Every structure is written in structure tokens, then in C-alpha cells.
Amino acid sequence: MTTGIEFDEDRGNYAKRIQSGGNPSKWATWLIQHGFAKTQSGAQAILVGLAVVNLIICFMVIKYFL
């Protein structure tokens, strides 16, 4: 007889990944929890990439309106 309960093993490994790299930001933690990154350094790389993309978009918008 099954109970319908399923366990996500990736989230169990989440604590091990966090402890190995120090104290991550809330955004890095969110990226790791949702599977976008496997390590803290990977999450930080994604965040840096997003910051660069946002700066480029801001520059393009400012240039367009000025």
C-alpha cells in the first residue's frame, strides 16, 4: 500500500552544497533550491551574468531616450 509521499533527494544534498562554499546570498540559495545552479559558485556566476545583462539593457534604454 502506497502513501503517496515522495521525497526529493536533490533538496537533501542542498545543505551539503551550501556548507561547502560559505554563506550564500538569498538569491544564490533560491537558484540552488530551484535547480538552476548546483553549487554556490555556479549561482554566483548566474547572478553576475544577470547583473551584466541588466546593465546592458539599462545602457540601451538610456541611450535610446537621450
pLDDT tens for each residue of 1-16:
556 666 666 555 555 5
Rounded-to-integer distance, Cα 44 and Cα 24, Å: 9
Which helix (H) or strand (E) covers residue 51, if one does?
helix 40-65
pTM of the shown model: 0.62
Identify the pLDDT of residue 4: 64
pLDDT, tens digit (0-9, with 9 covering 90-100), for 31-56 = 999 999 999 999 999 999 999 999 99
User: Can you give the residue ranges of every domain in the chain?
Assistant: 24-65
